[in-house]
A = this chain, B = another copy of it.
């Protein structure tokens, strides 16, 4: 069965992968109940989700731990390295670039760019901050697949336009703006103010 994986399932796969990694060396098999408990979801959900990957468990036993991890990695496309570029070397861009967690899943930050003269040339986690004008050149040279926007909101749209024009169709937007992009571009938005807004709502009840 090569059924299309539902978006909601895709969004849970990284979480399962993380939980499986955390549970590593506990046992060589893992039941849907174990994984559900760790991930905070329903066990039927887990079984349905992994069934889309063609995962095969053993009744009465569970799923092979190592095999399941491998299948999730394969489904997400984490079996090959993904060059990533960070635009904006402010606090957030620097924090991101220093973050070591990306590498385990094959994401490699290959360049950090900024428009500010004062930041260009400074070092961030072994990389030298490069001028924004080099964007297209760097994307081509390093085969960049994913762009992370850590610019001020006013700059985000124009940089996004340049990214997509240069062939980068996957964008993680940390700037508090809603980007306008063509349908073929995948955009994930992370907005901490929005998250706090949602928490504030729940404070009331």
Contact = CB atoms under 8 A, between A and B. Distances in A.
Interface stretch (A56-64, A133-141, A193-201): A193-201
A138 to B, nearest CB: 18
A76 B186 CA distance: 29
A98 interface: yes
Interface residues of A, number: 59
Nearest to A146: B199
- Interface on chain A toward B: helix, strand, loop, or mixed SS? helix
Interface of A: 5, 10-11, 13-15, 17-19, 22, 38-40, 75-78, 82, 84, 90-92, 94-96, 98-99, 101-102, 105-107, 145-146, 169-172, 176-178, 180, 186, 188, 190-204
Which 10 pairs across A and B sit closest by C-beta, in order of nearness? Answer: A14-B197, A91-B95, A14-B194, A186-B202, A170-B199, A95-B95, A188-B195, A77-B200, A92-B95, A77-B204
